[in-house]
């Protein structure tokens, strides 16, 4: 499917700095006169915020398949009601996390079948893929140290052990290697302005293409 707008997603482990970069990119694109929808998954819609509360903060067990379905339901609502309309208007969508998070966290992290997780999201979104996915790659130990200093409570996923986050990170890198045209992989330990510059460069190329 072709869109008139531009769909950009940010991916990476918890604590990799996605929100900071999303904000800087939003400011830069805004200053160039683009209309932007900044959003996130889980969340991003009213229904999504309720789902977010369940997947991130429900006390007690959620089975891996139920978790995958909850993220997919959030995604379907978000894409149908907010993202697709924005892209059809010609806006730039800057989104924190998308299908690749489900592949990395539910697929590699929870060890669900990767093909099934992909198919679930493909169905939920009507096969909508980003034009660009920025992967902020950071080793899980550094990411954890960053989180420890900034968080007072950890969500269900953040509370997982290092081994879980190692699998998540490795899978993000595999996804990026398989689709080098869609992904921009950046070392998230670089300083904020350097990262922002590298992101702007790539987005600029896309916009002028």
CA distance from start to end of the chain: 17
The torsion defined by the Cα of 96, 18, 116 and 58, in degrees rounded to 10, comes to -80
Per the CB < 8 A criterion, the answer to whether 182 and 8 are in contact is no
C-beta closer to ligand TYD: residue 18 or 169: 18
Does 92 engage in binding with ligand TYD (CB under 6 A)?
no
Could you tell me the smallest distance in angstroms from the CB atom of residue 111 to ligand TYD?
A: 13
- 42 sits near ligand TYD (criterion: CB under 6 A): yes
Q: Is 71 in the site for ligand TYD (CB under 6 A)?
A: yes
Burial label for 107, CB within 10 Å (0-12, 13-18, 19+), is: buried
Decide if residue 164 touches ligand TYD (CB under 6 A).
no
7 touching ligand TYD, by CB under 6 A: no
Contacts with ligand TYD: how many residues (CB under 6 A)? Answer: 16
The residue within the footprint of ligand TYD, chosen from 77, 106, 125, 133 (CB under 6 A), is 106
Within its chain, how far is the Cα of 134 from the centroid? Answer: 9
Pairing of the two strands 183-187 and 132-137:
parallel
Q: Quick one: 41 or 131, whose CB is closer to ligand TYD?
A: 41
Per DSSP, the three-state class of 15 is coil
Q: Which stretch binds ligand TYD (CB under 6 A): 27-35, 38-46, 135-143, 199-207?
A: 38-46
Among 105, 164, 172, 183, binds ligand TYD (CB under 6 A): 105
The two structure tokens encoding residue 10: 């940010």
Taking the least distance from each CB to ligand TYD, the nearer of 77 and 106 is 106
- Please say which residue, 84 or 171, places its beta carbon nearer to ligand TYD: 171
CA dihedral 184, 189, 194, 195 (to 10 degrees): 30
Specify the length of the chain in residues. Answer: 209
Q: Give the residue nearest to ligand TYD (CB).
A: 105
Could you say whether residue 84 binds ligand TYD (CB under 6 A)? no
Distance, in Å, from the CA atom of 180 to the CA atom of 33, rounded to the nearest integer, reads 29
Q: Is 41 in the site for ligand TYD (CB under 6 A)?
A: yes
């Amino acid at each position: 499917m072709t869109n008139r707008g531009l769909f950009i997603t940010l991916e990476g482990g918890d604590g990799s700095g996605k929100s900071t970069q999303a904000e800087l990119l939003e400011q830069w694109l805004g200053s160039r006169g683009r209309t932007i929808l900044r959003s996130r998954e889980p969340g991003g819609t009213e229904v999504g915020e309720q789902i977010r509360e369940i997947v991130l903060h429900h006390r007690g067990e959620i089975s891996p398949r139920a978790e995958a379905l909850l993220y997919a339901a959030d995604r379907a609502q978000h894409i149908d009601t907010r993202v697709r309309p924005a892209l059809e208007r010609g806006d730039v969508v800057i989104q924190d996390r998308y299908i690749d998070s489900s592949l990395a966290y539910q697929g590699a992290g929870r060890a669900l079948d990767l093909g099934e997780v992909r198919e679930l999201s493909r169905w939920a979104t009507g096969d909508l893929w980003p034009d660009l996915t920025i992967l902020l790659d950071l080793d899980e130990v550094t990411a954890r140290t960053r989180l420890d200093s900034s968080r007072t409570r950890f969500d269900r996923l953040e509370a997982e052990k290092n081994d879980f986050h190692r699998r998540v990170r490795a899978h993000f890198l595999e996804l990026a290697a398989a689709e080098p045209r869609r992904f921009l992989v950046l070392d998230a330990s670089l300083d904020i302005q350097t990262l922002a510059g590298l992101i702007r460069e790539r987005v600029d190329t896309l916009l002028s293409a």
